[in-house]
Amino acid sequence: MDLEGELEPYRNAEAYRNLQPATLPNHVEQHLDFLDINDEGFLLLGSSNLTGRYWTGSLWYFIEPEAAPNVEKCLTGTDCESGVCNGKFLNDQQKVIIGEDSGNIQILALSEVAEEHTFHFSLSACACDHDDYVCSVGVFKGKSQAVSGGADCVIKVWDVESLVAEHTYRPAHSNQVTSVATQPTDGSEVFASCSLDGKSLLWDSRNPKPASELLKGTAMTAVEWQHSTSHVVGIGGINGEVSFVDIRQPKQKISKITCFPRSVHGLCFDRGSLNKLAVCGDLEVVKVIDCMDVANPVVCYEDGRHNDFVRGLSWHPSSNMLFSCGWDKQVLTHAPLQVPEEGCVSNMGDCPVASSPAQNMDINGS
């Protein structure tokens, strides 16, 4: 067979980077893997096809978070060559960073076609430095740096303008890096990571020895910073527990709470001083933990409307509504801060749990 004319295109060429499909992707894939809401209230949604012949994905941008995942109400969207594991907004609403199953890290910019009054994603930069799928990405408060962790046990700190890896830690853990989270403080270069090797580490890339042990135990799957203090970290484990650690006193837990009978998948603290932590795991339930007294956390909200695993969580910056997405192709809204007229009893204890007042946003994305 003559393969002389079948050459791989140079994907960094300007013509290739700016090549845009004539239309939007025709549908949102079944498995919604993540969502992120920026400071303006815009929503970024990533979906993957995990059961079809081709394991592809797509990325979607919504001005109104309640409209997701309705394709007809999106601002724009784009196809991805592989599944989309995680993504975040960058310095403004115009740029996003995503990590893919292929190991790619991409920065996409929102561009407007003035003549048609339409928007599309254009590829600003792409790097394939991970040797396995990207599990998690995080963006530092200053928005000029990002961090990624992958199943190849590697952590990379990126300059988001050039998408050059400023620091590469190989191996950062002895098993896959399941989650990374940046400290929510201006000018900070500190971040936390956790892994299936049973360790959570605290990193400061300015130090000659950047890593120090934060917590050691069972396999860990999610890590998140408390925004109101910036020195408390929540860590989720494969045993369904969420532990809280003060980075000033590492290697010991402030407290812990059992949320699920299965593995924790994601954690998301609210952005203000409400001290609420949303939790999802390998089941159909979303829970919110009241961490006002971090030494005595309690479950204050529970919702089981999803029909498959919940994968993504994000808080709206102004309304304090919680948004969740999952493998059932649903984006649901939650109002955990509303006091219910008649509370029900949580199966996690005697904490009153709000019966969900949120509307089901299950919309056919085709």
Q: Domain with 164 in it: what CATH number?
A: 2.130.10.10
In a domain, 66, yes or no: yes
In a domain, 2, yes or no: no
Q: How confident is the model at residue 252 (pLDDT cuts 50, 70, 90)?
A: very high
The domain of 212 spans 30-353
In a domain, 358, yes or no: no
Q: Residues 193-208: what's their mean pLDDT?
A: 96
> pLDDT tens for residues 107-128?
999 988 776 678 899 999 999 9
Largest CA distance in the chain: 73
Q: Residues 198-212: what's their mean pLDDT?
A: 95
> pLDDT tens for residues 261-309?
999 999 999 988 889 999 999 999 999 999 999 999 999 999 999 999 9
In a domain, 363, yes or no: no
The model's pTM is 0.86
Residue 61, C-beta contacts closer than 8 angstroms, at least 6 positions apart: 42, 43, 44, 45, 74, 75, 76, 77, 96, 110, 119, 121
> What confidence score (pLDDT) does residue 357 get?
36
> What confidence score (pLDDT) does residue 144 get?
86
> What confidence score (pLDDT) does residue 49 get?
93
> What confidence score (pLDDT) does residue 19 get?
52
How confident is the prediction for the chain on average, in pLDDT? 88
Residue 364 has pLDDT above 50, yes or no: no
> What confidence score (pLDDT) does residue 159 get?
94
In angstroms, the Cα distances linking 300 to 201, 314, 349 are 29, 17, 10
In a domain, 94, yes or no: yes
Residue 246 has pLDDT above 50, yes or no: yes
In a domain, 87, yes or no: yes
Distance, CA of 324 to CA of 316 (rounded, Å):
11
Q: What angle do CA 46, 50, 53 make, to 5 degrees?
A: 125
Q: How confident is the model at residue 100 (pLDDT cuts 50, 70, 90)?
A: very high
Is there a contact between 148 and 125 (Cβ–Cβ < 8 Å)? no
Phi, psi of 139 (to 5 degrees): -120, 130
In a domain, 345, yes or no: yes
> pLDDT tens for residues 330-362?
999 999 987 554 444 343 333 334 433 333 344
Total domain count for the chain? 1
> pLDDT tens for residues 63-72?
999 999 999 9
In a domain, 148, yes or no: yes
Is the pLDDT higher at 18 or at 147?
A: 147
Q: How confident is the model at residue 223 (pLDDT cuts 50, 70, 90)?
A: very high
Distance, CA of 131 to CA of 348 (rounded, Å):
40
